[in-house]
Amino acid sequence: MSNNLRFKTSKFIDETYRVSFKFNNKTYFGFKGDTLASALLANGIHLVGRSFKYHRPRGIMTSGSEEPNAIIQLHDNSSRTEPNVRATEVEIYEGLVASSQNCWPSVNFDIGGINNLLSPILPAGFYYKTFMWPASFWEKYEYFIRKSAGLGKSPKVADPDIYEHKYIHCDVLVIGAGISGIMAAKMAAKNGFKTLLVDEKSYLGGSSIYDNSEFSKINNQITSSWLEKEINEISKLENLEIKTRTSVAAFHGYNFLLARENLTDHLPINQRENKVRQRLLKIRAKKVITATGSIERPLIFDNNDRPGIMLSSAIKRYIDLYGVACGENNILFTNNDTAYETAMSLIQRGIKINAIIDNREQIDSKISYEVEKNNIKIYKGYTVVDTYGYRRINKISIMKLSKDGQTVIGDKTKLNCDCLGVSGGWTPAVHLFTQSGGKLKFREEDQVFIPNVYPSDQISIGSCNGDFGLEEIIKNTLSSIKKFLDIDNSEYKTVETISGLNQSKRNIWLLPSDKSIGKTKSFVDYQNDATAKDIKLALREGFRSIEHVKRYTTTGMGTDQGKLGNMHALGIISETAGTKMGEHGTTTFRPPYTPLTFGTIVGRNVGEFFDIFRRTPIHDWHVANNAEFENVGQWKRAWYYPKDNENMHQAVQRESKAARDSAGILDASTLGKIDIQGTDASEFLNRVYTNAWSKLAIGKCRYGLMLNEDGMVYDDGVTTRLGENHYIMTTTTGGAANVLGKLEDYLQTEWPELDVYLSSVTDHFATISVCGPNSKKIVSKVVPDLDLSDEKFPHMSFKNSKIDNIKCRIMRISFTGEHSYEINIQANFGKSVWEKCMEAGKDFNITPYGTETMHLLRAEKGFIIVGQDTDATLTPIDLQMDWIVSKKKYDFIGKRSLYRSDTIREDRKQLVGLLTENPEEVLEEGAQIVADIKKSPIEMLGHVTSSYYSPNLKKSIALGVVKGGKNMLGQKLIIPMENKNINVTVADPVFLDKEGERLNAKL
């Protein structure tokens, strides 16, 4: 290998700026402006990876985002490591570290390469066919399969980079800055449209920016010179924003697009600190112009995957843009004229072309004559039938094609080469267009799918619209943009083009071979190792739908989504099945166009912003007092307050006992609060709650149960009448937002005639609940002006009062069965009032308790928790709460459903109490309940919904739902557990103080 593969002719490479980088632990040099791929090629390296299934050596195939082979790991074992990166897209920087994937111990010698020898027994669907039986062995197979499969390694530590999301609104979005994109952006911006132009590359101009050929000219200038002037002009336009290194990932309906803007990936690591690495742009464009160009097709022949086999256009880009020769002895293999452009680029720099193999018998274009003039042998009507060389191509063999192109004839000729450029014509990049919902049509003449029906205000121009010739591109861009933007002035007077290329093509999806198909490896999907043979096998086995063939053979399922070979797969299917191309359609193009990092997707929503939480006004006190927290909806609620190394059980036992023996205090600020006002407020409550509300006196509180229209319990809470037309409703913590939404729904849509207004005031108040036999003494200290006598302030009533001149609302309501008060005060004063209560309760051992103790205390009383004891399948009757369902009211939400044939069944699951035979045994919540353990299959009667050890009753208590449980009082049931069966007795769900003596005790 000679050392000089670099030609000092490119203005895109800064040869005064040498960059060192590491590839597979060896240091190499490149120049600023290189991609990792161009720098490796300049160092004579083609072999960069191993294929997925057969572990065949693979090289750099393309020069862009369509790359299937050169997939590498960046910065392995560091926090910035990234797998599955395309070497063709990585701009090199000082200190870059890259390594090959999917090979062990090294890319040059890979043990997995044995799969290549085993390939005859690794056909399509091999894993499906082999490892499915015996089914019980799957777990054992899986471990090894997963180990040997997979591409890169995921990072092990947190990503140190910053990512963000940004919304962009524009009149016109132009995707792709090739000739047509540049022209469209200029026309839009100059005509007053706020325009955004994006391109995935670091430079503008697409593949024309390095087109210095004499064979394509615009206005008598070399294409690249003409284009440079255009770029220079548009870069000064005020109305135009240009973003390079920005790849549109998704094109959704209503012209909503997602793009990834790369900001620091081309910088040395030490220059990236505190900078945003990648930005997800959420673009809403009034009009979208897609100018994404086209992707060169490879050709499908035996052993078409060896390192050194590349797209012809890539060879041209590497020499023209990066000044890098991909080989010293080149052969081009083509079915169209574009390979001759590559040939001219090589000729101009004196790089050897051994031969050109052209499928076509007749070649009639200026450029081909020019190539021939340079004494290059063109094999017309020939095809490559095989290639040789393990780690790098060194030979090919060619044969003459028959007239119909279905077979090969004559003798085999062998030709030497170290690089084979292939060109099978061009495939319009319609990915984004189809993602947006656009429908394609198939153009028979040159066998391409092109945009047909646009689903939104958008247009495709240039070669992604099937315009391949320079003249066509410019002419059609001008006319269609004028029409699309409805403008008179195109900004272009006359654009004259000259092109030495002809659009003729001899399209053969699968090139014939002298071997039988079973003996060939003609790769269609390089990344997933799917061959033409696999596709034919799938068809033989009965697969017809393109979507099924895709999944069975994994064609197009790699990280490149088959950008190169999908068309050939379709072609081979239609040829083999004898159907028309257009009829199959294509497989679905799904976002993202190129892979996105997780960082880009989540943006700033990491760490504490990953899942935001709500804190009560008293939160800091709980933290200072050693509380453990639990998540309830978005809230952080104090769960329990461990003292002196207590575990949860010990803390809860202590808290529960204190609350009943003396005094407990609970932060209930998270309960939903809805302020209800209006002349029809009472009528409204009548309609939404199951019980009657018309007669509730001002200053009184009432517990209410809310149903869904299907009769199932939805939410519960206490509502207080503050005034004639003014109520405050409380809801469960988790249900607050949904209850408000549901009430608004009924008000706005079913009962717009009601004069009722709802406001959420959950955050406006702190709610402090003080309970226990000493609660009255404590509250009287905190609110000395208030008469707390049972006559003046009985259970289920409310008073306005003041604490230190701050207005507050005090309710005497109880969720524990104890004498208890709820103080509601402006949120800002919550913490100080809480501290006041703690101070006042010092002599009474006032004990803060969390949600766990609250649950235990209410379970002792048999009070339900909606969402724990209920699950949207229980009616109030099922909960044995018949008392709360008004018989008199004509209607309320869910009433009619309470006597549907299904809801009146006797054997519905009903809420019951459960007592264990051994009072020390605490049941597991969720455990199944059965009656007959011997029956097979065992009939499940229900499950345990709440279970605790009650320190006040000194026994285990539980609530559960049991089929027909209402009539099973005293009956013995069984809870089967993993190691034992627990005997339980069905009991009254109210375990403690059924008569309410504690609540009504004279204190």
Partner 1 sequence: MFLINCPFCGEREQSEFKAGGEAHIVRPKQPTELSDDEWAEYLFMRKNIKGVQFERWNHVHGCRKWFNMVRDTSNDQIKAVYKMGEKPPVK
Residues 415-454 contacting partner 1, CB under 8 A = 437
The residue (of 96 and 196) whose beta carbon lies closer to partner 1 is 196
Q: Is-contact 573 230, C-beta < 8 A?
A: no
Q: Is-contact 222 211, C-beta < 8 A?
A: yes
The residue (of 559 and 897) whose beta carbon lies closer to partner 1 is 897
DSSP 614: B
User: Binding to partner 1 by residue 888, rule CB under 8 A?
Assistant: no
Query: Residues 113, 455, 699, 964: which binds partner 1 (CB under 8 A)?
Result: 455
- φ and ψ at 572, to 5 degrees? -65, -40
The residue (of 405 and 678) whose beta carbon lies closer to partner 1 is 678
- How far is Cα 368 from Cα 363, in angstroms, rounded to an integer? 7
The residue (of 547 and 709) whose beta carbon lies closer to partner 1 is 709
Closest approach of partner 1 to the CB of residue 187, in Å: 25
DSSP three-state, residue 441: strand
- How far is Cα 93 from Cα 147, in angstroms, rounded to an integer? 32
Which residues, in sequence order, are CB contacts of 945 under 8 Å at separation 6+?
Answer: 868, 869, 911, 925, 959, 960, 961
Query: In this chain, which stretch among 86-94, 248-256, 779-787, 982-990 interacts with partner 1, using CB under 8 A?
Result: 248-256
User: Binding to partner 1 by residue 165, rule CB under 8 A?
Assistant: no
User: Binding to partner 1 by residue 887, rule CB under 8 A?
Assistant: no
User: Binding to partner 1 by residue 678, rule CB under 8 A?
Assistant: no
Q: Is-contact 189 171, C-beta < 8 A?
A: no
- How far is Cα 887 from Cα 322, in angstroms, rounded to an integer? 86
The residue (of 610 and 890) whose beta carbon lies closer to partner 1 is 890
Closest approach of partner 1 to the CB of residue 903, in Å: 10
Query: Residues 16, 220, 232, 901: which binds partner 1 (CB under 8 A)?
Result: 901
Query: In this chain, which stretch among 298-306, 480-488, 841-849, 891-899 interacts with partner 1, using CB under 8 A?
Result: 891-899
User: Binding to partner 1 by residue 787, rule CB under 8 A?
Assistant: no
Closest approach of partner 1 to the CB of residue 748, in Å: 5
Contacts 24+ apart (CB under 8 A), 795-798: 795/819, 795/999, 795/1000, 796/700, 796/701, 796/702, 797/699, 797/700, 797/701, 798/699, 798/700, 798/701, 798/720, 798/721, 798/722
Closest approach of partner 1 to the CB of residue 262, in Å: 23
User: Binding to partner 1 by residue 897, rule CB under 8 A?
Assistant: yes
Q: Tokens in use for 473?
A: 């591109």
Closest approach of partner 1 to the CB of residue 758, in Å: 9
User: Binding to partner 1 by residue 166, rule CB under 8 A?
Assistant: no
Query: In this chain, which stretch among 81-89, 123-131, 517-525, 887-895 interacts with partner 1, using CB under 8 A?
Result: 887-895
Query: Residues 710, 790, 871, 925: which binds partner 1 (CB under 8 A)?
Result: 710
The residue (of 275 and 439) whose beta carbon lies closer to partner 1 is 439
Q: Tokens in use for 61?
A: 């195939």
Query: In this chain, which stretch among 599-607, 869-877, 895-903, 981-989 interacts with partner 1, using CB under 8 A?
Result: 895-903
User: Binding to partner 1 by residue 171, rule CB under 8 A?
Assistant: no
User: Binding to partner 1 by residue 144, rule CB under 8 A?
Assistant: no
Which residues, in sequence order, are CB contacts of 707 under 8 Å at separation 6+?
Answer: 690, 713, 714, 875, 876, 892, 893, 894, 895, 897, 898
Burial of 573 (0-12, 13-18, 19+ CB in 10 A): buried
User: Which amino acid does the sequence have at 166?
Assistant: K
The residue (of 422 and 459) whose beta carbon lies closer to partner 1 is 459
User: Binding to partner 1 by residue 889, rule CB under 8 A?
Assistant: no
User: Which amino acid does the sequence have at 822?
Assistant: E
Closest approach of partner 1 to the CB of residue 258, in Å: 10
In angstroms, what is the C-alpha Rg of the chain? 38
Helix orientation angle between 312-320 and 338-348, rounded to the nearest 10 degrees: 30
| Neighbouring C-beta atoms of residue 328, cutoff 10 Å | 16
User: Binding to partner 1 by residue 253, rule CB under 8 A?
Assistant: yes
Closest approach of partner 1 to the CB of residue 899, in Å: 9
Query: Residues 254, 369, 598, 613: which binds partner 1 (CB under 8 A)?
Result: 254
User: Binding to partner 1 by residue 457, rule CB under 8 A?
Assistant: no
Q: How many CA atoms lie within 13 A of 980 on its CB side?
A: 7
Number of chain positions touching partner 1 (CB under 8 A): 23
The residue (of 444 and 750) whose beta carbon lies closer to partner 1 is 750
The residue (of 127 and 751) whose beta carbon lies closer to partner 1 is 751
Residues 255-274 contacting partner 1, CB under 8 A = 256
- How far is Cα 336 from Cα 364, in angstroms, rounded to an integer? 11
Residues 735-764 contacting partner 1, CB under 8 A = 741, 744-745, 748-750, 752
Phi-psi sector, 858: left (phi>0), alpha (psi -120 to 50), beta: alpha
- How far is Cα 782 from Cα 772, in angstroms, rounded to an integer? 16
Query: In this chain, which stretch among 2-10, 135-143, 201-209, 890-898 interacts with partner 1, using CB under 8 A?
Result: 890-898
Query: Residues 611, 791, 891, 997: which binds partner 1 (CB under 8 A)?
Result: 891
| Neighbouring C-beta atoms of residue 842, cutoff 10 Å | 10
Give CA torsion, residues 240, 241, 244, 248, to 10 deg: -100
The residue (of 455 and 678) whose beta carbon lies closer to partner 1 is 455
Residues near partner 1 (CB under 8 A): 252-254, 256, 284, 437, 455, 709-710, 741, 744-745, 748-750, 752, 890-891, 895-897, 900-901
